[in-house]
Chain A
Amino acid sequence: MIANLWHYGLVVVLMMTGLYIVIAKRNYVKKMMGLAIFQTSVIMLYVTMGKVTGGTPPIFVQNDDGTLTEGIVYSNPLPMVLMLTAIVVGVATMAVGLALVVRIKEAYGTVEDDLVTELNREDEARRHLSAAAQPIKESKS
């Protein structure tokens, strides 16, 4: 039984490699690459589930007179449909994420998570220090 499940095992290992990159890496672009690997391997999980041994892609084979050829095994079309959507979601997330990375680079001068966190902390400290020093000078346009 287990012998027939190694596909899933490999997919899981691949998935976890991607997840590790997302969590462990501090570079934001690298994180996005990790997300892409993670999402691609989830697509692989679905596609693996949809495969039927000895099957063909789910495009009907027709005889010359337009009727369907009998006796052909087709793989499951539904996971494929779902995964087309998942790919779209993946690239959409990638685009928005990378646009954010560009803005972070412009605003902070870096795209490394530890540096950005440090700068955020400084911002916050400055914000409340200046509040204590001069509560009136709330310059607002």
Chain B
Amino acid sequence: MTLDQLPVLVILIPLLTAPLIVLIRTPAVVRLMAIAAAAASAFCAAMLVARVGEPISYHMGGWTPGIGIELRATKASAFVLALVTGIATVALLLGTRGTRLDVRGTSDRSDATGGQRSREHLYYAAFLTCLVGLCGMVITGDAFNVFVFLEISSLSTYALVAMGPRRRAFSAAFNYLVLGTIGGTFVLIGIGLLYQMTGTLNGPAISARIQEIGDPRTLHVAFGFLFVGFAIKLAVFPLHQWLPNAYAESPSAVSSFLAGTATKVIYFQLIRMCLVVFGADYVFGTLHFGSILGPLSLLGMFAGSLAAIYQLSLKRLLAYSSIGQVGYLTLALSLGTEDGLYAGLLHLGAHGVTKTGLFLLASVIIAHVGTDRLASLNGLGKRMPLVAFLFVVGGIGLIGVPGTAGFVSKWALLQAALAGDHLFLAGAILVSSLLAVMYVWRVVEVMYFREPPERAPLRPGYDWGALAPAGLLLGLSIAVGLYSEPICVYMRSAAAQLFAGGGAP
């Protein structure tokens, strides 16, 4: 019986722990509660991965899907859930380090008045609700429910980003809020138009209706609004402006979490919207969506990676790199083939793990050096050899050097491009990888080929709370790079399942 409840438990555990945290308040306890809730949710997600074959459908309130809300666990959604919850658990280990909450009396004026009372419980509760929002979007089978959970995660994210140590965090969070709300409202408009034309909100049911009603213009517009709304949230070029500030200004734990999960979850929504709701034939056949998304992806790949080369600080560099990586993801989808989807899902996992690892390393560096300015990281290879080494491991993962998970996914992407006779795309992927080499090399050069400053005040000892998870994630990336068989098999079948419309209702 309990096993049947797995899909809802993934959501319910963190969603009920958040209010409990507000009730309990004791900082030391709530931290453990948050970690335990995320870990329990991750455990449930892992169980789902192990159990899912045919899509698991969970009927909320016992109502038939359509009349009520349905949760749908497919192979792909179970995987994304496991990724998101796993990364959340790891990022929570960082605690509130680098947040406004523990910078008493410096930049934060309110702490001068009420600093003796901790707000840590609110921070952890918001972290968990952010996780809930992301998971809820992934597992639901209902179009409007996606919007509700999108807003849960977005609102928590705005508040969490604003907890960053500098004042710019406020303006980054506000700009994100305005753009994000426009995006969310576009999604809402798109859902409304879809509902108007089909009379239902259930994903598979909408899909079935669309095949009956032909090709009304309202449907084009619905698709357009959903795409633009998700594109804003996904930071597809040219709607990416909010991302660098939001990632670079937010607290370390938050940027580590978001970098690996937020855009991935939205990408998964885009996939489902194209393949499960509208159907591949309609999206790529009738609407020629590939010829819109493809060029945007290429622009994003190059613009993001080029901008990354010119950044002066580590987190900002990583953030721009994320825009480039989103380009790979959408490029994979724009191919409109099962091979492309397979590559996209692989890259989703590979990039999520690698980027979170790198952001965790950035937080270790910030904790010890006091800043992430590249100019201050001279000679870090001598001062913090382990961290610098791990950073190189992550960097080659971003580039896609053989032996890393990044290689597995990029190789799949290349093959998918070649299989569709897109020689030009294959070339573009290779060239943009060279750009990745350049921005990773900038950091390597600073760390290994410059002399450390003479009287460098470094804090002694390693911060294992962040370093161990980073090592774990980057080790995972290497492990997958060396032995990719099981994950590739799983992703193949996940892609096949999604491409066939997410399994019959």
Please list the residues of chain A having a beta carbon within 8 angstroms of any beta carbon in chain B. Answer: 19, 22, 28, 31, 35, 38-39, 42, 45-46, 49, 78-79, 82, 85-86, 89, 92-93, 96-97, 100-101, 103-104, 106-108, 116-117, 120, 123-124, 127-128, 131-132, 135-136, 138-141
Contacts and interface: CB of A to CB of B under 8 A. Distances in A.
Interface string B184-220: 1100110010011000010000000000000000000
Interface of B: 103, 106-107, 109, 144, 147-148, 151, 155, 158-159, 162, 166-168, 170-171, 173-174, 177-178, 181-182, 184-185, 188-189, 192, 195-196, 201, 312, 369-371, 373, 375-376, 378, 453-457, 459
Contact of A127 (B159, B181, B373): B373
B181 A135 contact: no
Given A39-B185, A46-B192, A138-B457, A92 B155 contact: yes
A22 B182 contact: yes
A124 B172 CA distance: 13
Nearest to A108: B167
Contacts of B375: 128, 131-132, 135
A45 B378 CA distance: 57
A79 B429 CA distance: 45
A42 B188 contact: yes
Given A35-B181, A136-B454, A138-B369, 17 more contacts: A35-B178, A38-B185, A42-B185, A45-B189, A79-B195, A93-B177, A96-B177, A97-B174, A97-B181, A100-B162, A103-B170, A127-B373, A131-B375, A131-B376, A136-B455, A138-B376, A141-B103
A26 to B, nearest CB: 12
B182 A100 contact: no
Contacts of B370: 138-140
A128 B312 contact: yes
Contact of B189 (A42, A103, A124): A42
11 contacts: A22-B178, A22-B182, A28-B174, A82-B144, A96-B177, A104-B170, A107-B170, A117-B171, A120-B168, A136-B456, A140-B371
Nearest to A127: B373
A46 B370 CA distance: 51
A104 B167 CA distance: 8
A136 B188 CA distance: 51
B376 to A, nearest CB: 6
Contacts of A128: 312, 373, 375
Nearest to A111: B174
Contacts of A101: 174
B222 to A, nearest CB: 12
What are the 3 tightest A-B residue pairs by CB atom distance, in nearest-first order? A140-B370, A107-B167, A138-B370
Contacts of A140: 370-371, 457, 459
A127 B378 CA distance: 17
Given A93-B181, A108-B171, A45 B192 contact: yes
A52 B373 CA distance: 61
A107 to B, nearest CB: 4
B168 A123 contact: yes
Given A101-B174, A120-B168, A131 B373 contact: yes
A19 B189 CA distance: 13
Contacts of A141: 103, 106
A136 B177 CA distance: 37
B155 A96 contact: yes
A49 B378 CA distance: 62
B175 to A, nearest CB: 9
Nearest to B167: A107
Contacts of B109: 106
A39 B182 CA distance: 9
Given A89-B151, A123-B167, A128-B312, A103 B162 contact: yes
A97 B371 contact: no
B155 A135 contact: no
A43 B98 CA distance: 40
